[in-house]
Structure 1
């Protein structure tokens, strides 16, 4: 649409089904490149992507040409299919239902990029569940604990 100007920065993250630590260092960079391509093919820009063996964080320069829910559904479905076709895991790979997504102003982008780059450092101190709940609280999002990722027993 003519005369439409936006600056939307979204950090999205999602977990492997049952939060199993299955994203292997041998193929995670290939996965990140694949996800980056999916997002860029829809007109958005990946500013940073990184994660841990059980989840992925992506900072997106988001264009308002697509609903975020549609983008996340496509990224999760297509990347799951790609992982399965590549045979990277024994059995069937899938992402857990849902995702987290938070918006940031331009002046916060460098801090969020650093946060995503330093995932290994952050998770040496706290779990993904603790990180997720902390982000929900920081962003003042009310949540029902019944629908938050449950610890693996």
Structure 2
């Protein structure tokens, strides 16, 4: 995920999640279309997970897909990053 962000000129500041979703705190330049970044993060991570854990991953698929086609993004401009990082850190880690 960090490498994908770097390829877009972005920085992944935090990563955490729960059993059915992940939380990412990403700083990205305004020229980057968020939908392109998210699609790349989902595509690359799904490919890597399928390669590394082909049998285990089957029970987590949405039909034939690892990720749901949707995503939620929110801007945190103005909020102290320490508060956002604390929120992400307090989430459960994916299994």
Q: TM-score range by the shorter chain?
A: 0.7 to 0.9
What are the superposed Cα offsets for residues 2-39 of structure 1, whole Å, 9 maximum, x if unpaired? Answer: xxxxxxxxxxxxxxxxxxxxxxxxxxxxxxxxx12211
Q: Distance in 2 between matches of 1:58 and 1:106?
A: 17
Pair 108,86 (structure 1): closer, same or farther in 2 beyond 3 Å = same
Q: Distance in 2 between matches of 1:86 and 1:47?
A: 25
Q: Does 2:72 align with 1:100?
A: yes
Q: Distance in 2 between matches of 1:90 and 1:36?
A: 21
1:71 aligns with 37
- Residue 65 (structure 1) shift: 2.6
Instruction: State TM-score, norm by structure 2.
Output: 0.80
Which protein has the larger Cα radius of gyration, Structure 1 or Structure 2? 1
- Residue 105 (structure 1) shift: 1.9
Q: Structure 2: which 5+ residue stretches go unaligned?
A: none
> After TM superposition, which residue ranges in structure 1, 4 or more long, deviate above 6 angstroms?
none
Q: Distance in 1 between matches of 2:20 and 2:3?
A: 21
Q: Distance in 1 between matches of 2:37 and 2:76?
A: 18
Instruction: State TM-score, norm by structure 1.
Output: 0.52
**1:50-89 matched pairs, under 5 angstroms:** 50-87=16-53, 89=56
Mean Cα deviation higher: 83-92 or 72-81? 83-92
CA RMSD of aligned residues (A): 1.7
Q: Distance in 2 between matches of 1:115 and 1:99?
A: 18
What are the superposed Cα offsets for residues 95-146 of structure 1, whole Å, 9 maximum, x if unpaired? Answer: 01110000012443211110000003xxxxxxxxxxxxxxxxxxxxxxxxxx
1:23 aligns with none
